[in-house]
């Protein structure tokens, strides 16, 4: 009888070990295929800062310029936005980036997420949203239309 208990414990241990290995492999697999396939030099050249782990965003489908199944930029408008700020928001939006305004339903949730994430995804930066509507990082200034287009072309390859 004692032998049967030992073999049961061994089976349980083996199952737990296999489950742990599978979880680790699936996480590595997910991270490998979710992140852009760009070298560290390419990321630096394009001013891209990636988060260690992508974060789920609230539903942004009501915003114009949201692109499904591809990387896109998201700019979060500050609550206090003067004429210069409004002009910048319009410029980014006319160049194909999504703008989240204080009146939008997902504004508070998104702002809360950005506060948790920290410097690599602050509201003043052009945020990177991956193919699965997850916050993946940001592009740091200086911004130009050409540089932004170049960045998203590289990310969506």
Whether 71 and 96 map to the same domain: the answer is yes
Are 16 and 42 members of one domain? no
CA dihedral of 85, 49, 25, 8, whole degrees rounded to 10 = -70
Same domain for 42 and 17: no
pLDDT of residue 2: 52
Say how far residue 44 (Cα) sits from the centre of its chain. 17
Q: Kindly report, residue by residue over 85-120, the tens digit of the pLDDT.
A: 999 999 999 999 999 999 999 999 999 999 888 877
Q: How many domains does the chain have?
A: 2
Residue 106: HSE in the Cβ half-sphere, 13 Å Cα cutoff: 17
Judge if 43 and 69 occupy the same domain: yes
Same domain, 29 and 51: no
- The reported pTM is 0.75
**95 and 140 share one domain:** yes
Give whole-number Cα distances, 33 to 36, 72, 94, 133, in Å: 8, 17, 30, 15
In a shared domain, residues 24 and 76? no
Instruction: Indicate if 149 and 137 belong to the same structural domain.
Output: yes
Are 26 and 93 in the same domain? no
| 124 and 139 assigned to the same domain | yes
What confidence score (pLDDT) does residue 67 get?
A: 87
The pLDDT value given to residue 82: 94
Are 61 and 26 part of one and the same domain?
Answer: no
Residue 4: the pLDDT is 55
**Residue range(s) defining the domain that contains residue 85:** 37-155
pLDDT at 32: 45
**Residues of the chain whose pLDDT is less than 70?**
1-6, 20, 22-35
Q: 21 and 77 in one domain?
A: no
């Amino acid at each position: 009888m004692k032998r049967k208990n030992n073999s049961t414990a061994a089976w349980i241990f083996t199952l737990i070990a296999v489950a742990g290995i599978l979880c680790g492999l699936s996480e590595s697999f997910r991270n490998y295929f979710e992140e852009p396939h760009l070298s560290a030099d390419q990321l630096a050249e394009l001013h891209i800062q990636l988060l260690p782990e992508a974060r789920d965003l609230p539903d942004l489908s009501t915003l114009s310029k949201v692109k499904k199944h591809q990387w896109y930029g998201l700019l979060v408008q500050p609550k206090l936005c003067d004429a210069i700020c409004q002009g910048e928001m319009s410029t980014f939006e006319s160049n194909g980036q999504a703008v989240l305004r204080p009146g939008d339903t997902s504004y508070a949730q998104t702002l809360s997420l950005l506060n948790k994430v920290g410097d690599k995804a602050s509201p003043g930066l052009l945020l990177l949203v991956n193919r699965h509507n997850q916050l993946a990082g940001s592009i740091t200034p200086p911004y130009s239309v050409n540089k932004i287009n170049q960045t998203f072309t590289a990310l969506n390859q």
